């Protein structure tokens, strides 16, 4: 999947301090989310590509979800993706939704 490779490259360049194994596990989860029908840990584990046993794929994603370092890195991840998506806009894009 070229989108996974593009995202991996973007995050690796934007966040050089992000641990490589954590980034690889995150990309495996994103790839599984794109191919799977559900986003539960078990369903994502089933959709992860590779030759590892199913038990180990599910365990890998379970560890990723519980990773405290990933939780502390999430704002930097969001920022890197936002900068990439908005860099081509001459002015910031602001969307307001109103409720009555």
pLDDT of 40: 93
Burial class (CB in 10 A: 0-12, 13-18, 19+), 77: middle
- The CA radius of gyration of the chain, in Å to the nearest whole number, is 16
pTM over 0.85: no
Both tokens of residue 15? Answer: 């966040």
Tell me how far apart the alpha carbons of residues 63 and 15 are, in angstroms, rounded to a whole number: 21
**47-76 confidence digits (pLDDT tens):** 998 999 999 999 999 999 999 999 999 999
The whole-number pLDDT of residue 1 equals: 60
**Euclidean distance between CA atoms 28 and 45, whole angstroms:** 9
Please state the domain extents for the chain: 39-83
Q: How many other CB atoms are found less than 10 A from the CB of residue 80?
A: 19
Compute the Cα dihedral for 30, 35, 36, 38 and give only its sign. Answer: positive
Q: Which residues of the chain have pLDDT under 70?
A: 1, 100
- Cβ pair 32, 48 in contact under 8 A: yes
Amino acid 12: pLDDT: 95
């Amino acid at each position: 999947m070229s989108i996974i490779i593009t995202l991996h490259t973007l995050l690796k360049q934007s966040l050089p301090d992000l641990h490589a194994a954590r980034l690889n596990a995150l990309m495996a989860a994103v790839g599984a989310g794109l191919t799977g029908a559900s986003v539960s840990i078990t369903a994502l584990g089933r959709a992860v590509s590779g030759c590892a046993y199913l038990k180990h794929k599910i365990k890998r994603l379970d560890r990723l979800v519980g990773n405290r370092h990933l939780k502390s890195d999430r704002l930097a991840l969001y920022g890197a993706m936002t900068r990439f998506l908005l860099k081509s806009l001459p002015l910031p894009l602001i969307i307001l939704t109103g409720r009555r």
